Structure formats: C-alpha cells, structure tokens
Chain A
Amino acid sequence: MKNLSILTIALIATLLLSCDKSPEKITAANLQKIATINTNGLTKQYVLENRFIDVDLDIVNKEINDRTKNKYQKPELAKAKAAIYRFYKNVSIKDGHYIQTIKSAKELNISDKLFLLFSTNIQKMNKSLDSLRAKKVEVEMPPADEKYFSSLLN
C-alpha cells in the first residue's frame, strides 16, 4: 500500500512537470530558431486581397508587447496593420489637422468597431493638437508617405 502511494505521487509529479509550459528564455539559440520562421507578407496579403478585417484588440495588445516574437510572428497585428493601411491611405494633413475622407467601415471592408476606433482617434488627435497649439506648443506632423505605408506592409 505504501509503495502504491509513492508510485501515485511520483506519477502525479511526472505529469505536473510534463505540463509545465513556462515560456522559453530568450537566448541566441532560440532567436536563431525564431528567425527561421517566415510568415512574411501577411499584411500585404490582407491589403491586396481586400479581405474583410476585424481584429481582437486584446490579442493585438498582447502581440505588441511580446518582445520574444518578431513582427512576422504576430498575425493579429498584421491584420491590424492592414486595416491601418486602408484607413490612413484616406487620411491627409491640412492646416495642422488630420482630415479623414472615408465615412464608413464598408468603404474599407473593415469592421465597424475598428473604423470607430480609428475615427475617434483622429478626432481626439485633432482636439489635442488644438489644445497644444493654444499653449503655443509647436507640433511636428510627419506626413504618411510611401515609406510609411511600405513599412506597414513589410
């Protein structure tokens, strides 16, 4: 009976240890392993195919903060970047404000939730720009050029 108890404890301990999924430490060897994974071009694919885009913001947030993975290993962020690409292709800068020419999510084939998020951000940015300028603060607004858009796709 005593031997059986010891065996049972040993078995449970073995099972628990085998279930330990603690994240791998960042080492040179692990980085080399990660570097061989190629999921390049996912954002470009979404943009070119004009597929409907919705993203899980919690997953995007986790992916943004995950320093153990490179940008090619973040599929939800890739989708978000494609949505950013579509949206900001229709945003310009005029008289120190962002001007959004698109009025609905349908025009961009993205979810209403994403469209509202981007639109609200544009409105808030414009308000913040106004309040900073009221305090005589000069704000630089680098334009969204082709280099910027290709950085989203790559």
Chain B
Amino acid sequence: MLFFPTLITHADEICPPGLCWDPNLEWCDICDEGGGGGQSASASFAYPAQTSGTLSFNGNQVVDYTVKNNNILGVLLTTNSNPNIYPGGWSVALYPGQSSTKVYSILKNVPIGWVFTVTTGSDAANVSMSATWNSW
C-alpha cells in the first residue's frame, strides 16, 4: 500500500508532520516518499467540538475527495468546495464507518487552491476527509 506525502495546512489536521492518515488502517502511518506520483491531503472534523471541518491544499485539476464517517452512528454530511463544482454542495448520508468518494474537476491553471468545507445536520459527527490527486 502506498502512502503519499500530505499537504495539511489546517489546525484540524489528523496526523503529526511526516505522518499520513491511512483510511484503511484508520491510523497515522509513515508517509511514502511519493517521488512526484500521487499526492494526498487529509483533515478531520468532529461536531459539535467544531462547527465545520476544512481541508485545503494546492492540487491538480482532478481531485478524488473522500469523506469517511468514523462514528458508530450514521451521519449526514454536506461538503462545499472552492472552486465550487457542485452548486449547493455535495450531500451524502453515511452508515457508521462508511466512506464515499466524489470526483472534483476543473480546467484552470495549476496548482489549484482547493478548499473543502464539511458541515453536518446530525447531532454528532466524527469524520475524516481526504483527497488524492496526481502531480502535474
């Protein structure tokens, strides 16, 4: 399994510098060196401790964005992005431990400063957000 260098820029980061969140193992693991291949970024969101979670990074034109519900209860999530790809946001209902991925793409000069903001309509949420893209 490959782990790519993370470009975490927010205070709600999951892993300490030099470590990357592995959604399969559900823990922070040693990042792969990458070598110009795939890149990734991750962040977490816990409601009500936080009102929203933000994942931001400089990425490519096509980004696979994944949200994973880490809680033992189902959750409703809405993600708004900048650049805004899905007007009104992408809303998804997730079972406990379930994840869902959406492709975000835009034709612009790289790097693109992607910002994903996730909010919830549920009473509680513990969510990890991650994104992967290819280097340009």
Contact = CB atoms under 8 A, between A and B. Distances in A.
A70 interface: yes
B76 A26 contact: no
B95 A121 contact: no
Summarize A's interface: helix, strand, loop or mixed.
helix
Interface string A50-81: 00000000001000110111110000010011
- Per CB-CB distance, the 4 closest pairs between chain A and chain B, nearest first, are A70-B27, A71-B26, A121-B73, A139-B91
A7 interface: no
14 contacts: A31-B28, A65-B46, A69-B27, A80-B72, A81-B96, A118-B73, A121-B74, A129-B76, A132-B121, A137-B88, A141-B92, A142-B92, A142-B95, A142-B98
A146 interface: no
B76 A125 contact: yes
A124 interface: yes
Interface residues of B, number: 33
A41 to B, nearest CB: 15
Contacts, number: 92
B126 A26 contact: no
A152 interface: yes
A26 B19 contact: yes
Interface string A121-154: 1101100110110000111111010001001100
Contacts of A128: 76, 121-122
Contact of A65 (B74, B123, B126): B126
Given A67-B14, A148-B95, A132 B76 contact: yes
A91 B93 CA distance: 14
B97 interface: yes
B100 interface: yes
Given A67-B15, A132-B91, A142-B93, 15 more contacts: A26-B19, A31-B19, A64-B72, A71-B25, A71-B26, A77-B72, A80-B72, A117-B73, A121-B74, A128-B121, A131-B121, A138-B88, A139-B92, A140-B92, A144-B98
A28 B100 CA distance: 30
A31 B74 contact: no
A84 interface: yes
